[in-house]
Amino acid sequence: METAQPSPLSAPVPPGVPAPATRRKNTVTIKLFFIAALVLLLQLPLGLINELRRERGNNREEANVRRVVARESNPEREYSPAVAASEGYRMVERALKHSVLVLTLVFAAFFLFETLAGLRLHAVHYGLVGGALCLFYLALLALGEVLPPGAAYIGAAVASSLLIALYSISILRSLARASTIALLLTVEHSVLYVVLRMESYALLAGTASLFVALAVVMFFTRNVDWFSQDTNREAAA
């Protein structure tokens, strides 16, 4: 009697070989979700920095009020350390409100390099870059206690950006790509500083910056076949 042959569709999967449904993972989408989760996770250390700012600000509040009153009575008087710290705390507070935007833009730049240039960045790479971005706010808080707000901001931005740019040379495997990241950080910190100094037009300037950033991402990814990206990464895996 003729034995029925098993259907190819019902054939068992050999040991050690993942099922086709398991292999069909949308790796690009997973990486985007990871970046979003990392941005949210980094809000924890930034929250600790904000608490540190609040605590140190409260300790100096009485002295700062007296210094500000003295400064208003004599506008030509130079900044004292207490006045500098008072304004520095305020700058840190406002800068932290834009932290999600800063983190997202920088991670988006690394993600674009990873996608367009065919690189593979590990979660540790993103985590270390995020740590360097968090150090910008801590350095801004520390320098703001002893320097005027402008000088403190420049010092913190240069230190953080230089750290990320030098690290980018290694993980992006190109001096040109690292230079692009350095340029992005320079523009980003410059725009953020202008936004922080503009009381009346801060929201307008921030919204315009978001439009420009989104337009840049749309322009450089307009010809990317995201389905092909997933297929290529699955094949490489």
Expressed in percent and rounded to 5, the helix, strand and coil fractions of the chain are: 80, 0, 20
Domain hosting 75: range is: 26-218
In a domain? residue 197: yes
In a domain, 140, yes or no: yes
Q: Alpha-carbon distance 115 to 111, whole Å? A: 6
Is 80 inside a domain boundary? yes
- What value does the mean pLDDT take over residues 52-79? 63
Alpha-carbon 236 to chain mean position:
28
Total of domains in the chain: 1
What is the reported pLDDT for 15? 46
What mean pLDDT, rounded, does the chain reach?
77
pLDDT, residue 210, reads 78
Using the predicted structure, report yes or no on whether residue 1 has a pLDDT greater than 50.
no
- Determine, yes or no, domain membership for 114: yes
| pLDDT band of 182, cuts 50, 70, 90 | very high
Residue 55 has pLDDT above 90, yes or no: no
Higher pLDDT, 23 or 113: 113
Residue 12 lies in a domain: no
Is residue 112 one of the residues assigned to a domain?
Answer: yes
DSSP string, 60-84: THHHHHHHHHHHHH-TTSPPPHHHH
Tokens linked to 209:
């910056």
| 31 in a structural domain | yes
134 in a domain, yes or no? yes
